[in-house]
Amino acid sequence: MTLTATLARFVASADPPPSVTPTVACAVADCFGCILAGAGTNVVDRLLTALSAHTSGESPLFGSGRTLSPAYAAMVNAAAGHVHELDDWEELGNTHPTVVLLPALLASASMRASTGQQLLDAYAVGFEVIARLGEAMTLEHYVRGFLRPRRLARSGRPPRSPA
């Protein structure tokens, strides 16, 4: 079995234990606070100006009352969450998983009926993927000029994002 197939099987079948829910809920609440804190900043305003031609969509821009397409909403919410550099960090992989993972999961959740527990479970699986890939990449990745959150964000989004 290839590494990709192994990873896909893990993501599709992972069932996070209930014991992770309190930790996951804290990380999600923390990131959501970062998104709200950054929502009205100049950085986000400039990004919204650049996206002014893309005004339709069903996914919320938290802290603004506006909506955009899921992809653009995830991007704007992630930018808002990064503004004050208060997002989380996990040591082993040296990544900031929540601020790239949560906005994508929230945008996905806006497109279908999902429960809070489904969101938290999808987050736990995505976090695990990002953390382990970050750990495997080692710090050499930074030496070569790459930032892990951007490189790993797509890897951490479970295909079953809250469904």
**Number of residues written out for the chain:** 163
- The answer to whether 68 touches 98, Cβ cutoff 8 Å, is no
- The tens digit of pLDDT for each residue in 80-112 reads 999 987 767 677 767 778 998 999 999 999 998
What are the backbone angles phi and psi of residue 148, rounded to the nearest 5°?
-65, -40
The most distant pair of C-alpha atoms in the chain lies apart, rounded to whole Å, by 48
Whole-model pTM: value is 0.82
- The tens digit of pLDDT for each residue in 12-51 reads 999 999 999 999 999 999 999 999 999 999 999 999 999 9
Which residues is 67 bridged to in the sheet? Answer: 60
Report the candidate in 67, 57, 105, 98 with the shortest Cα–Cα distance to residue 81.
Answer: 98
Q: How far apart are CA 161 and CA 163, in angstroms?
A: 6
Q: Give how far the C-alpha of residue 21 lies from the chain's centroid of Cα atoms, to the nearest Å.
A: 17
Q: Residue 52: what pLDDT?
A: 85
Torsion of the alpha carbons at 115, 30, 93 and 108, rounded to the nearest 10: 30
